Amino acid sequence: MFLFKNITEYQAALLAGQQTCAQAVQHYLDQIAEHQNLNAYLEVYAEEAIQRAKELDSKASSKQLVGKLHGVVVGIKDVLCYKDHKVTASSKILENYTAVYSATAIENLLAEGAIIIGRQNCDEFAMGSSNENSAYGPVKNALNTSLVPGGSSGGSAVAVQAGLCMVSLGSDTGGSVRQPADFCGVVGLKPSYGMISRYGLIAYASSFDQIGIFSSNIEDAALVLEVIAGADNFDSTVANLPVPSFSTILDQKDTHTTPKKVAYFKETLEHSGLDAEIKTKTLAYLESLRLKGYTVEAVDFSLLSYLVPTYYVLTTAEASSNLSRFDGIRFGHRTSKPLDDLTELYKLSRTEGFGEEVQRRILLGSFVLSAGYFDAYFTKAQQVRQQLVDLTNSLFKDYDILVSPTVPSTAFEIGKHQHSATEMFLADIYTVYANLVGIPAISIPLFKHSNGMPFGLQVMSKSFNETALLQFSKEMMKA
């Protein structure tokens, strides 16, 4: 039986000759075939993955693996470019488009011996909180197929949840890794903005987007982060900082750096939209931290109600600009109807190619950037964002860790909020903060609701302090 606690244990079996990469790949291919109803994968690279596994098996010796991720089977969200492979952002407008280069994160995975097994379903252009906006049908939660897996990286979360790969790469613009991780009961990590190169990630909102990681444990997330993080000449927004060896410092105990002071925003637990059971269990958990010697204090946060409006004003504005490149001229879908007018060609191609939610956000973004409304909406939203950054910098002078619920409810029924944009947007109320201010955040699966579904705790730290974030999260998972 193929069953390992983490990547380290799996690789130990490889070194001991108890397992081969080829056997691992075949196991996951069998699992994917068995769970096709979940719609987690849009394309599986079966032959290619088997061939790469055989090559890795032939290169490895009894004492040495090829790289840090030797033989690790990875799935990638359908917004990451992988040269000579299709990438569609789960949209008809990029149907059958083939990437002409690989994302830096993908190159880093391959350089360290990873095996990419397929591309995973997601909300179209990463716009959604339920994975119902994909042009290729919704992804289903493996624990209850009548429920959503969360979005936009639902396929990537379900693939780890259902054991269809070891780890997945997703993207997180406002919670698109953490929210589905919460709904699916897995670990979902969004690093600091600038920790991982965005080169090769199809852009939604460039000042928010960040590649994130799904795993079943903290150790695997730390190892993958260690591999894919770091400076990149192709992305000027990446910090030129050394990347810590996250996988080896997880268990190091240093009284000067180990996080002990925890804050939470009082208003997040008093919000009317928060499920009562999530509130009760979160408060009880915070009290358990106090009993273990942590300093746990409530902090006032008067800007909570401004988070979602600020986020959607800014991200839609950036999306309207980023998605203007999809015009049916150079690549992607072009209407087949004969037209003599260029403007009509643009309009019809984009109307046919983009789904309803993407169209809504492009229109909203164009509106807030228009001459008469720029100052009223976009400028004010930028001012609120700066206030949030200032508050965050002040907060982390006194505290090591900030915690909150990840999502206000457990996974909801497919179709429940699909026709109510406002209700769907409110699902992001706790996750958008970390993207607005650029700090790292992780959702860790700690609880089970009386309805049988998992839910977690969101943990945040100051920018580029993933070490403290991961150390604290591992302690929480152990407990």
102, 129, 152, 192: which is the annotated catalytic residue? 152
Distance, CA of 23 to CA of 193 (rounded, Å): 37
Residue 409 designated active-site:
no
Q: Phi-psi region for residue 146, left (φ > 0), alpha (ψ -120 to 50) or beta?
A: alpha
Q: What is the DSSP letter of 444?
A: E
Q: Which residues pair with 405 in a beta bridge?
A: 457
Residue 404 designated active-site:
no
Distance, CA of 244 to CA of 249 (rounded, Å): 8
Nearest C-alpha neighbor of 456 from the set 414, 425, 411: 411
* Non-local CB neighbours of 54 within 8 Å, separated by 6+ positions: 21, 22
129-155 burial, b at 16+ Cβ within 10 Å, e below that, comes to bbbbbbbbebbbbbbbeebbbbbbbbb
* Non-local CB neighbours of 107 within 8 Å, separated by 6+ positions: none
Contact 226/247 with Cβ under 8 angstroms? yes
Compute the residue count for the chain.
479
134, 176, 443, 461: which is the annotated catalytic residue? 176
Residue 77 designated active-site:
yes
68, 77, 140, 462: which is the annotated catalytic residue? 77
3-state helix, strand, coil in the chain (%, to 5): 40, 15, 45
- How many CB atoms sit inside 10 A of residue 258's CB? 14
Q: Indicate which residues carry an active-site annotation.
A: 77, 152, 176
